[in-house]
Every structure is written in structure tokens, then in C-alpha cells.
Amino acid sequence: MSFLSRRISIVVSLAALCVPAFGAQPKQDETKLPENLARRAKATASSEYSQRYLARFAIDGKLPSSGGSSDPEQAWCVNGGVSRNGSQFTLEWDEPVMVAEILYYARTAFYANECWKDYEVYLDAAEEPVARGTLGMVHGPQRISLPTSTVRKLTLKFVSSFGGLNPGASEIQVFATRCSRRQLNGLAQAAAAAAGGSYVATNDETDIEALQSLILKMIQEKGSGYSQGAAHRQRLASLVEARDAAEASSDDSSDDEFEKIEDDLALLQREILLFDVDRLLVIERHEIKASHVYTYHYEGFRAGGGLYVISPFSTQQEPLELAASPEGQILDCDLSHDGRVVLFSWRQREDEGYHLWTVNVDGTNLQQITDGDWHDYNACWLPDGA
């Protein structure tokens, strides 16, 4: 489209087209995991919330679901009142073992922020850490790479958290070799299955089969209207082949290569989903945190932001500013059916109410259309254009 789309609605039915997925099927030895050495260790921690959240529950192979509100005797956590900002988790073996990688699973059963952030790793009685880094506030396995060493004791020193009530770990695994990306993905799927669910791609992942089906579906339904179809299929096949190679590798450099390919897949997915859109209308503002759904228009005011037109593909292209709001807050907007005029709710200052404004998508003809001692918001265009 040469102008802004009024609405974008694409529904994908995976059962609609039966087509083989791109990429070779992994061999069994590529997905089989090495032994989890943590299961043979004795686990202790400098803080344990209660008898139902002991350190040993983080090495039992049980993976509670994210947001399931049920991880007693399946996870370890500290007493946040005294240890929220730091704790030590130690594994000890009766005989020396070789270690090369730790996988940390955040405690996410109740709140996403009940997990550790910064860490250090110590081997045996060493006074200096062999590894340090930062974990994410995410569900599923996270790598902690180590120099391959033979040890009898391994200590994870957590030095900060994401601020949750009682930070901890759903599971901590230790391996003698570095897991490949394919094995790591298998663990993520196992974590979902152990929680009684199925693995679902997250926002930063690309569902290859769904994307392939979508391309073929749009070629079939839109014909010449989707002229990019053949090129998109070819790019997808090439990226999947490259990703399969990086996924099967356990080299340190393969992670960087895999992330680059994932970024390229995400960009391709965006180009496919928005193949007939060249610009997007967006509001920049702080998240409104109100005490109740009926007070979101009044509470939680934070000045800043504005109304813009942006490119959906290029981060280098400067946004087109339609209305700047350094002292106010724009709540919502609606685009006219011809894609030319924006109707939006704007509170220009905290001591004023929201009122309705219009502006052309090229930034011209900014007009206020309501005023008064009340709030006007959530306006929309009617089918007749009024």
C-alpha cells in the first residue's frame, strides 16, 4: 500500500496447508543430552526460604510451569527479607567430575522477577571466580559457560536479583560438555512438557513451519498481490539451512552466528507479515499504571512522548513527528478509513483533561476538536467517516 493501512488482520491456519517443513531432521545423537551432573551432587545454599524450598529441590529434575503458582518442593528460593540481593548455591560431589557448562532456570512460578540477575562462579576453594555474567528475567534454560575443569565443588554466587520477593531457581543443571543450541532448544521444550504444556515460540523466536505455511497461503490467496512470495520462500529456506548448521554446533562462536540468523529470521517474518504496509502509526508514552480500569484516563499520569509515523523495517529512518507531548500524555488514536487523518486523545498538561485532536499523517493541519472541564477519549471514526 502507498498509504497507511487502516487495519492489518492475518489469520494463519496451520492445518490449512500440509507442506513439509524446511531443514533436515536432527539425528538422535544431536539432540541427546549429556549427563546432568547436578543430579549426583549434594546441594546446599546460604539461605533457604523453608523446608519446602530447599536447595536440593533445584536439582531434582522437576520443572514447574511459569506463572503456575505451584513450585513447593520443586524449586529453591531464599528468604527475601534477608537475602534478596545475594546468596550462594553450592554443589559438591563425592568424586571429581568434569564441568563445562551450567544451565540456570529462573524461578518464575509466581512472579517473573523472583530470579537472580548477576552471578559469579567459583570452583573448589578458589578465591577468584572463573565466570561472571548477567542472567535474564525469562523462563527456561540460560547458559553459564565455564572453562572445562575437573572439580569436586562448584559455587554459584548470586550477587543481585531482579527485586522479586524470594529469588531462587526452578532448576540448576551442570554438564561436562557445552550443550549445542539444538540440545538447548530441546531442554526448553522439555521444560514446557514437564509443566504439562507445550512449547510455544516466544516473541523473539520465529515459528518456521507457521511462517512457511503463511507464505504459501498468501501466494495462493493473493496471487500477484503478493509479488514478494517467491523471494521470501527462498530467503526462508536459506536462513533455515544456516540456522540448522549453527544449531547443531557446540562451538562458542555458534551462539553469535545463531543469534544473527535469528535476527535475520525475525526481520524476514516482519517483512512477510507487513508485506503491504510501508508505514506505521505509533504513540510513544509511559505505561499508564492506574488503580482500576475505570481510572486509567486520570491516574498514573507521566508526561512525555508523542504521536509518530515510523518505518516498520528500518531503525535508521527518523520517525515523522505528528504531535510532540513533552508536558502531556497521548492516550490513544484511531486512523481514518482512507488512512489520511489521525484522531487521538491528548492531555496536554497534568492539570487538564483529555481532549480530541486530529492531524494529517504528513504532520499538517493539527486541530483540537473538543474542549471543556471534562475528559474526552477513546474516540473512533464511524463507518460513514464522521
pLDDT at 181: 75
**Interhelix angle for 252-273 vs 229-248, to 10°?**
160
Residue 211: name the closest of 170, 267, 250 by CA.
Answer: 267
Mean pLDDT of 349-356: 93
Q: Residue 174's CB: how many other CB atoms inside 10 A?
A: 27
Q: Which amino acid is at 272?
A: I
Do residues 98 and 150 lie in contact, with contact meaning Cβ atoms separated by under 8 Å? yes
**pLDDT over threshold 60, residue 67:** yes
**pLDDT over threshold 50, residue 137:** yes
Share of the chain above pLDDT 70, in %: 86
pLDDT at 168: 97
Q: How far is CA 9 from the centre of its chain?
A: 22
- Three-class secondary structure of residue 205 per DSSP: coil
pLDDT at 253: 66
Mean pLDDT of 133-138: 94
Q: What is the pLDDT of residues 176-204, one digit of tens each?
A: 998 887 788 778 776 666 555 545 454 45
Do residues 188 and 199 lie in contact, with contact meaning Cβ atoms separated by under 8 Å? yes
User: pTM of the entire structure?
Assistant: 0.58
